[in-house]
Amino acid sequence: MAFQRRRRQERRVVPAVPAVAAISGGALLIIAVLAFHSLLAPSPLLNGAAPDMAGPARHRRAKPSSILLKKPVDLQRNAAGAVDAFRVPSGKGSPVTDLWGSKLSKDYHGCSNASSGFATAEANTLPNRYLIIATSGGLNQQRTGIIDGVVAARILNATLVVPILDQDSFWNDASDFSDIFDVDWFITSLTKDVKIIKELPEKDGKVIWTPYTMRVPRKCTPRCYQSRVLPVLTKKHVVRLTKFDYRLSNKLDIDLQKLRCRVNYQGLKFTDQIQVMGDTLIQRMKARSKHFIALHLRFEPDMLAFSGCYYGGGEKERTELGAIRKRWKNLHASNPEKGHRHGKCPLIPEEVGLMLRALGFGNDVHLYVASGEIYGGEETLAPLKALFPNFHSKKL
């Protein structure tokens, strides 16, 4: 999940922007280093099975102490569960492999253009059908909701009203769509695909139809939208879909998948103010090193609470994260042991450092960490900083 945080106000050389907007500047730098999250096995640093938060402590799991500050580590695990030892590089990176490029990159090309049979928005959109989506979660999660909302409007032959960002969640961020994204660009760049308007039509200063509020299940297919939403939309003319996060299935035909790509990579453009901030951060990093890695550690308190995972912090951790977890009323009961076993728990910063070093990135590499408040603070970050001393944040 993509969660973003409100930062404390700090001195900047660039204009101040809303909290999510400031985070978005950092997001411009993010490289998908942590795409391995869902694929990695439980941390080799964790001793024993984690106890179920709701169960007895007989499966107690000791808080992992740093093993990186002592010596390079031999990690022993392969996909089949057999023992394979490999040593984390103790110095500079791999002298053989070019870690900053790909010889195959020239073979990749864009393929998101609509097919010749994809009807225009003018032909596809029916009158008196308006779709409003209210996104949910952090900025990345809301971005996904916006993308899916455009596709949902296309499926329903409806006009999309500029999406509403989540202002009532854990982060209490008051940013509107236009604070983060170039709204005029969003509308015009997708004009051939979906009709988009800023506000519902009015008559004599009043909205013509009152929106009907409902929610669709997660990963709702096109048939699901047509059976659940379309009848209501036809009758009420305006439907507002709430908690719109991951509410569209990935099982779509190729043209709808391409539309998703066009929204994400062409339709959603940050405001000029955020672009300037992102460029400034990049320039400052490049002044320090030709290459750098941008990380989002995903180790903030709310992320850990949402995951339901346990990291050996004892009763203090269970109490703190348990209190945050209660804010999501519909979460299933947590099973930390199962989460770690299936590789679904966020990596601790130390494990991220281990992964990068094992991939061949040396201790001379510069890191830009775009995360919010890290659970455990400097104590949690110390092993990662030991692996990568050239450690930078938005304070640079």
Within a domain: residue 156? Answer: yes
Tell whether 262 and 323 lie within a shared domain. Answer: no
Q: Does an H or E element contain 105, and which?
A: none
Residue 247 and residue 129 in one domain: yes
Q: What angle do CA 75, 79, 85 make, to 5 degrees?
A: 25
Is 205 inside any structural domain?
yes
Residues 142 and 254 in one domain: yes
Task: For residues 250 and 135, state if they share a domain.
Answer: yes
Would you tell me how many other CB atoms lie within 10 Å of the CB of residue 9? 9
252 and 170 in a common domain: yes
Where is pLDDT greater, at 233 or 10? Answer: 233
Least Cα distance to 190 among 224, 150, 246, 228 occurs for 150
- Separation between Cα atoms, residue 63 and residue 224, nearest integer Å: 45
Domain with 175 in it = 121-271
Whether 204 is covered by a domain: the verdict is yes
Same domain, 235 and 335: no
pLDDT(41) > 60: no
209 and 338 fall within a common domain = no
- Contact (CB, 8 A) for 390 and 365: yes
Look up residue 334 and give its two tokens.
Answer: 């947590």
Instruction: With beta carbons less than 8 A apart as the criterion, state whether 181 and 42 touch.
Output: no
Q: Is residue 382 part of a domain?
A: yes
Residue 326 lies in a domain: yes
Contact 140, 166 (CB under 8 A): no
pLDDT band at 151 (very low <50, low <70, confident <90, very high): very high
Say what percent of the chain tops pLDDT 70: 75
* Euclidean distance between CA atoms 56 and 308, whole angstroms: 16
At 54 the pLDDT is: 39
Span 333-358, pLDDT tens digits: 888 888 889 989 999 999 999 999 99
Q: Tokens for 76?
A: 């022993």
Query: How many angstroms separate the CA atoms of 378 and 387, rounded?
Result: 14
Helices assigned H by DSSP within the chain: 19-27, 121-124, 139-155, 177-180, 183-189, 222-228, 230-236, 254-262, 272-288, 301-307, 314-325, 336-341, 349-359, 377-387
One domain, residues 72 and 165: no
Between residues 27 and 209, the one the model is more confident about? 209
pLDDT at 16: 42
Is position 84 within any domain? yes
The pLDDT value recorded for residue 90 is 62
Chain Cα centroid distance, residue 347: 15
Q: Which CATH number fits the domain that encloses residue 165?
A: 3.40.50
β partners of residue 392: 368
Q: Is residue 185 part of a domain?
A: yes
**Three-state DSSP state, 213:** strand
Query: Whole-prediction pTM value?
Result: 0.74
Amino acid at 390: N
Same domain, 323 and 243: no
Closest CA to 88 of 380, 358, 372: 358
* End residue of a domain, out of 222, 243, 271: 271
3-state SS class at 369: strand
Co-location of 253 and 163 in the same domain: yes
Q: Name the residue among 33, 17, 100, 101 with its Cα closest to residue 278.
A: 17
As a whole number, the mean pLDDT across the chain is 81
- Describe the crossing of helices 349-359 and 377-387 by its angle, rounded to 10 degrees: 10
Residues 189, 258 within the same domain = yes
CB 392 within 8 A of CB 288: yes
Q: Does residue 60 sit within a domain?
A: yes
In angstroms, rounded to a whole number, what is the distance separating the alpha carbons of residues 99 and 114? 34
Check residue 17 and give its pLDDT: 43
State whether 195 and 267 are in the same domain: yes
What distance in Å separates the CA atoms of residue 352 and residue 375, rounded to the nearest whole number? 15
Of 271, 294, 321, the residue at which a domain comes to its end is 271
Within the chain, what is the greatest distance between any pair of CA atoms? 74
What average pLDDT does range 217-232 have in this prediction?
97
Is residue 13 scored above 90 in pLDDT?
A: no
Helix, strand, coil % in the chain, rounded to nearest 5: 35, 10, 50
Number of domains in the chain: 2
Domain limit, last residue, from 208, 242, 271: 271
User: Residue 60: pLDDT above 70?
Assistant: no
> Which of 392, 384, 376 is CA-nearest to residue 301?
376
Above 90 in pLDDT, residue 21? no
